[in-house]
């Protein structure tokens, strides 16, 4: 239809779609892409084997008495590349002072709403102007010292503790087992603010720099700080992904969690998932050193899978007898290490091209759907490249046969013209071309 004044759909439509698209939906998409890529790549190879050249000798006759079960199928095929990354959320960089200031502002909103629903004549004092002024006096400084920051944290903790006490007193004016006069989003913020106060108070009291399940965003309390150890970003705030990449370039998010985890423990499940989708185990697994634990190496060895990495233990002593062999193994490890580059490129493609480094969803489930959708789009591009390659091959074949037809037709009419005969007798000459 043309232009209309009414909106074509409600603004929350895409949010509802992301809520419904769980991990099982994306697993179905992934399996469909894998199946399509494998079939598309197997067709040219099958046709090439079935089309023998003119110089080939005829194959010897084989009796049909041999059962089909004797056909040997490959037990291992392809390579599996493993790695992990973080998809940062679109949140403000958290500091203890800014987090407490935001919690204090939410507590003031709760006090305002609860007081409006009561019959009290005097509103609880919150000192919001003084608290805001004390906060700005610190954050406006270019380089506030450690003592100044600690004093500011103490001030905000005291203001927040006072506000939480006022909220508890206001809640006593409402009967029990009745809904609170707060919107759902603000009630959720109230629960989060209490956890933030407890965590920050414990860290301030014990002079600690960390705590378990640390909240870094009041609006998205499921986000956790994940230490990466990088030079430019030592800590990232978002979901950690355990990703596997096949030889065909298809990537899959095997595990998505909001807390830090050891990605090396996911190797067995990723290998089994590869077997479930491809029907065979991979020939080789490529990954960081963190994947080469003793348990993982034993698991791969029991299944005949080779791990491309440096062996555990002390390096062998270089002698004249093993010098060439050690040099060959080092060159092989170097070559296999370079084969891990595609998965790093896949992360770069997602972060630079599809904003995998800036997830703007506001919920945990919609954020997971957002991340999986990015990988789905990149997999569809791989499928599109395969189809384009097949189309080019078909186009080349059609062009070849059209040229043959044109060449034959032109030759036929040339013979007819040279012999000045009717087109029918010229068929004999055409057969001799």
Rounded to the nearest integer, the mean pLDDT of the chain is 85
Share of the chain above pLDDT 70, in %: 87
pLDDT of res. 71: 47
Q: Which residues contact 416 (CB under 8 A, 6 or more apart)?
A: 422, 423, 426, 429
From 110-114, 287-291, 324-328, the region with the lowest mean pLDDT: 324-328
pLDDT at 102 over 50: yes
pLDDT at 378 over 60: yes
Q: Which of 41-45, 87-91, 325-329 has the highest mean pLDDT?
A: 87-91
Find the radius of gyration of the CA atoms of the chain: 34
pLDDT of res. 60: 46
From 169-173, 213-217, 418-422, the region with the lowest mean pLDDT: 418-422
Q: Classify 235 as helix, strand or coil.
A: strand
Tally of CA atoms within 13 A in the half-sphere of 254 that contains its CB:
26
Q: Which residues contact 167 (CB under 8 A, 6 or more apart)?
A: 107, 110, 111, 114, 190
Work out the average pLDDT over 146-164: 96
From 47-56, 225-234, 385-394, the region with the lowest mean pLDDT: 47-56
Q: Which residues contact 275 (CB under 8 A, 6 or more apart)?
A: 281
pLDDT at 153 over 60: yes
pLDDT at 144 over 80: yes
pLDDT of res. 158: 97
pLDDT at 63 over 50: no
Dihedral of the alpha carbons of 213, 214, 216, 218, in degrees to the nearest 10: 70
Work out the average pLDDT over 174-202: 92
pLDDT at 338 over 50: yes
pLDDT of res. 35: 81
Helix 267-278 vs helix 23-50: angle between axes, to the nearest 10 degrees? 50
For residue 240, is it left (φ>0), alpha (ψ between -120 and 50) or beta? beta
pLDDT of res. 151: 96
pLDDT at 359 over 50: yes
Q: Residue ranges of the domains in the chain? A: 96-206
Work out the average pLDDT over 49-78: 53
pLDDT of res. 430: 47
Is residue 18 within 8 A of residue 370, CB to CB? The reply is: yes
d(CA 426, CA 393): 34
């Amino acid at each position: 239809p043309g232009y209309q004044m009414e909106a074509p759909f409600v603004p929350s439509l895409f949010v509802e779609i992301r809520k419904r698209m769980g991990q099982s939906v994306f697993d179905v998409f992934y399996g469909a892409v894998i199946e399509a890529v494998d079939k598309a790549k197997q067709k040219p190879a099958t046709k090439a084997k079935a089309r023998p050249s003119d110089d080939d000798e005829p194959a010897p006759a084989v009796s049909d008495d041999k059962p089909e079960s004797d056909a040997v199928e490959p037990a291992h095929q392809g390579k599996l590349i493993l790695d992990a990354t973080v998809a940062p959320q679109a949140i403000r960089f958290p500091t203890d002072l800014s987090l407490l200031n935001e919690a204090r502002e939410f507590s003031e909103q709760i006090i305002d709403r609860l007081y409006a629903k009561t019959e009290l004549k005097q509103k609880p004092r919150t000192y919001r102007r003084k608290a805001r002024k004390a906060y700005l006096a610190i954050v406006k400084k270019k380089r506030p010292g450690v003592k100044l920051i600690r004093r500011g944290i103490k001030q905000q903790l005291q203001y927040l503790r006072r506000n939480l006490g006022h909220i508890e007193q206001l809640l006593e004016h409402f009967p029990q087992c009745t809904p609170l006069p707060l919107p759902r989003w603000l009630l959720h913020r109230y629960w989060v603010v209490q956890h933030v106060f407890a965590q920050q108070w414990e860290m301030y009291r014990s002079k600690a720099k960390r705590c378990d399940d640390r909240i870094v965003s009041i609006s998205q309390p499921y986000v956790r700080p994940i230490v990466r150890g990088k030079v430019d970003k030592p800590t990232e705030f978002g979901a950690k992904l355990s990703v596997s990449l096949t030889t065909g370039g298809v990537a899959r998010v095997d595990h998505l969690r909001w807390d830090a985890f050891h990605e090396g423990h996911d190797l067995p499940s990723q290998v089994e998932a590869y077997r479930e989708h491809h029907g065979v185990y991979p020939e080789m697994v490529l990954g960081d050193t963190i994947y080469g634990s003793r348990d993982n190496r034993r698991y791969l060895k029991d299944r005949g899978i080779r791990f491309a990495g440096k062996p555990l233990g002390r390096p062998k002593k270089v002698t004249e007898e093993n010098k060439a062999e050690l040099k060959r193994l080092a060159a092989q490890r170097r070559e296999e290490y370079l084969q891990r580059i595609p998965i790093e490129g896949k992360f770069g493609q997602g972060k630079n091209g599809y904003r995998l480094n800036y997830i703007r969803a506001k919920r945990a489930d919609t954020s997971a759907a957002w991340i999986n959708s990015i990988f789905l789009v990149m997999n569809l591009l791989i499928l599109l490249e395969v189809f384009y390659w097949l189309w080019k091959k078909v186009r080349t074949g059609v062009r070849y046969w059209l040229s043959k037809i044109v060449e034959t037709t032109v030759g036929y009419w040339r013979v007819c013209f040279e012999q000045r005969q009717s087109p029918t007798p010229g068929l004999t000459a055409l057969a001799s071309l």
